[in-house]
Amino acid sequence: MPCHRSIMSEEKQGRPFFVIALAVGMLGILSLLPWGKLTDGFFKDFNLLEDVMPSRPDKNRIGNELVDPDLESALSEMSQTVSDDMAGASDSVADAAGGMDVAVESPVSEGAVIIEDYTSARRGLSRFAQALDAGNSIVRVALVGDSYIEGDVLCQNLREGLQAVYGGRGVGFMALHSDIPGFRQSVIQSDKGWKLHDLRKDKGHLGCWLAGVYATGETGAKASFKGVSRFDHASSWNRGTLLYVAADDGVVTLDAGTGPIEYRVTRSDSVQAIVVEGEMKQLKIENRSVNGFDALGLWLDGGSGVSVDCMSLRGNSGAALRRLDAGLVGQMRRWIDYDLIIVEYGLNAVSSQQSDYSAYGKLMEQVIGGIMALYPGADILVMGIGDRGQKQGSEVHSLPTVDNMVATQREMARRLGVLFWDTRMAMGGADAVVDWRKRGLVNADYIHLNHKGGAELAGYLVDAIVKAAPLGSRHD
C-alpha cells in the first residue's frame, strides 16, 4: 500500500508540469503561425511568448509592424525624384497654401476640433453644400480608407448623422462579396459564387477606381442585401444601381421583394448599369447566364439627400490608388459621381522606427492629386490618422511618431489646397487611445476602432462637416 500511494503521488505531481509544458508548446505554435498571411491581414501576427522567444524576421515589417508592400514599391519608384522635390518644400509651403498662415494646433470651435480649410479661396465644403442646396439629386460622399473603417465602422454612424441632418436613405456602395459579412451592422449581406478582386493584387483595370475592388460572378452567382432597423434610414431605400462589365451576352435578375425581374445584358468592354427604382427593403442579384460578369458594385440609395459610401481596403496605405484609371472612372461617373471625398489613410505607413514621412507625403500628394483630377466636382477632405498606442515597458502610450505623420498629412493637405481634419486631436490628442481603450472604444491592438468607438468619432466628424457646410440645406 505505501508503494501504491507513492506511485499515485508521483503521477499527480507530474501532471501539472505536463499541462504547463503542453500549454507553452501550444502558445509557441500559435505565435509561429503567419496569421497575417493566412487571413490576408484580418488577424495580425503576434508573439505570445515575446519575452522569451524573439519574433521571426520579416522583410515586410519595420520592427514588429507590418508594412504595406505596395507602399514600399511606390516609394522605390519615386525615390529618384523625392529628394529633389523636397529640397525646396519648406520654402514653397506658404505658396502652395495660397499664402495662408501655418496652423500650429488644430482649430477648435465650441470645444470641438473643426475642419481646417487650405483651399485657395477658403471655399470649405462649398461644392458639397451647393449640391445639397440644389436638392434635385443624390449628394454622394465617399469615405476611402483602410482597415480603420472596415466593416462600415465609423462610416455607418457618419452616414446616419449626415442623413439625419440633410436627408437620405440606404447604405450606398456595396461590393458583391464580403469575407466578413456578419461584421458589418448596417446591412445584412450574403453571397455565393462571387470572387472579389482588388487593384493591389489584380493586374486588370477594373479595380482601378476609388473603392479599388470588383467582383466576378460566373453563371449561378447570387448576392442578397437586406436593410436593418439598427440605424436610422438603413431599413429601406428606393434606388438600386448595379454597375458592371460583361464579357458575353446573357441574363441577370434583380429581385426587390416582388419576384425576380430579368435584365438582358449585352457584351461590352464599357461600364453598363442596371437601375431599379421603387420602395424596397431588400435586393437580390443573380447571374443567370452571363459568362464573364464583373460587378463593380451595387449602390443602395434614396432618391435624394445624402448617400455615404464606405470603401475600405485592409492593409492599404493609399499608395495603390496611384493607379486609378481615368477611362474607367469617367465611365462610372455617368451614374455614380461624388460631391465630397474623405480620404483616410496613414496607419499602414506609420512606424515606431520612422519619424520622417516626407516621402509618403509626396506620394500621397500624387494620389490625392489624381483623385482631384478625376473627380473635379468633389470637395476633398483628408483625415489625419487616429491615435495609435504602443507598449512601453509595462504601460501603453501613444506611438511617438504619430505626431510626425499627422504633421505630414496636414502639410500635404496645405500643399494640395484641400481640407484637413485632425482625427487624433478630435479623439483627445496624446494618449487619447489609452483613454479610449479604457472606455471600450478601441480594440486591444490600441489602433482600430470598434463599433462603439466609431460611433463616437463619427459624431465629432458629423459636427465638423455641418459647421463647414453652412450653405447646405437642413432636413426637417
The answer on 133 and 197 residing in a single domain is no
C-alpha cell at 79: 525615390
The answer on 319 and 451 residing in a single domain is yes
Are 226 and 281 within 8 A, CB to CB?
Answer: yes
Round to whole Å and give the CA distance between 246 and 206: 12
Dihedral class, residue 124 (left if φ above 0, else alpha if ψ from -120 to 50, else beta): left
Print pLDDT tens along the chain (476 aa).
Answer: 555 555 445 555 556 766 676 766 676 666 556 545 454 444 454 555 444 444 444 334 333 445 577 787 777 776 655 455 544 443 433 333 333 333 446 788 877 899 999 999 999 999 999 999 987 789 999 999 999 999 999 999 999 999 999 999 999 999 999 998 899 999 999 999 999 999 988 888 999 999 999 999 999 999 999 999 999 999 999 999 999 999 999 999 999 999 999 999 999 999 999 999 999 999 999 999 999 999 999 999 998 999 999 999 998 999 999 999 999 999 999 999 999 999 999 998 998 889 999 999 999 999 999 999 999 999 999 999 999 999 888 899 999 999 999 999 999 999 999 999 999 999 999 999 999 999 999 999 999 999 999 999 999 999 999 999 864 444 44
Cell 474607367 -> residue: 328
The answer on 419 and 451 residing in a single domain is yes
The answer on 312 and 200 residing in a single domain is no
Dihedral class, residue 74 (left if φ above 0, else alpha if ψ from -120 to 50, else beta): alpha
Task: Tell me the residue range of the domain where 388 lies.
Answer: 69-167+305-476
Round to whole Å and give the CA distance between 95 and 118: 11
The pLDDT score that the predictor gives to residue 107 is: 85
The answer on 216 and 362 residing in a single domain is no
The answer on 346 and 201 residing in a single domain is no
**Dihedral of alpha carbons 235, 241, 243, 246, sign:** positive
The answer on 444 and 309 residing in a single domain is yes
* CATH code of the domain covering residue 208: 2.60.120.1360
The single-letter code of the amino acid at 63 is: G
The answer on 139 and 73 residing in a single domain is yes
DSSP 30-99: HHHS-HHHHTTTSS----TTTTTSPPPP-TTEETTEE--HHHHHHHHHTHHHHHHHHHTHHHHHHHHTTT
The answer on 338 and 276 residing in a single domain is no
Q: How far is CA 31 from CA 24, 26, 28, 189, in A?
A: 11, 9, 5, 33
Are 10 and 19 within 8 A, CB to CB?
Answer: no
The pLDDT score that the predictor gives to residue 57 is: 40
> Which residues are bridge partners to 310 per DSSP?
143
With the CA atoms of 142, 146, 148 and 152 taken in that order, what torsion angle do they form, in degrees rounded to the nearest 10?
A: 50
Domains: count for the chain: 3
Q: What is the largest CA-CA distance in the chain?
A: 96
> Which residues are bridge partners to 224 per DSSP?
190, 284
Round to whole Å and give the CA distance between 140 and 129: 11
Are 106 and 425 within 8 A, CB to CB?
Answer: yes
- Please tell me whether residue 395 adopts helix, strand or coil conformation: strand
The pLDDT score that the predictor gives to residue 236 is: 98
SS (H, E, C) 413-471: HHHHCCEEECHHHHHCCCCHHHHHHHCCCECCCCCCECHHHHHHHHHHHHHHHHHHCCC
pTM: 0.83
Final residue of a domain: which of 19, 41, 66? 66
Backbone angles phi, psi at 121, to 5 degrees: -105, 15
Task: Give per-residue burial for 220-237: e unless 16+ CB within 10 Å, then b.
Answer: ebbbbbbbeeebebbebb
Neighbours of 44 (CB within 10 A): 16
- Please tell me whether residue 277 adopts helix, strand or coil conformation: strand
The pLDDT score that the predictor gives to residue 95 is: 37
Final residue of a domain: which of 246, 278, 303? 303
User: Kind of pairing, strands 379-383 and 419-421?
Assistant: parallel
Final residue of a domain: which of 44, 66, 88? 66
Round to whole Å and give the CA distance between 417 and 307: 25
The pLDDT score that the predictor gives to residue 76 is: 72
The pLDDT score that the predictor gives to residue 32 is: 59
Contacts 24+ apart (CB under 8 A), 8-16: none
The answer on 389 and 244 residing in a single domain is no
**Dihedral of alpha carbons 402, 405, 409, 414, sign:** positive
The answer on 345 and 200 residing in a single domain is no
Residues 322, 327, 331: CA angle, nearest 5 degrees: 120
Round to whole Å and give the CA distance between 87 and 91: 9
* CATH code of the domain covering residue 427: 3.40.50.1110
Identify each DSSP E strand in 313-361 by its residue range.
340-344
The pLDDT score that the predictor gives to residue 353 is: 87
Residue 100 carries which DSSP code?
P
The answer on 89 and 24 residing in a single domain is no
Are 37 and 69 within 8 A, CB to CB?
Answer: no
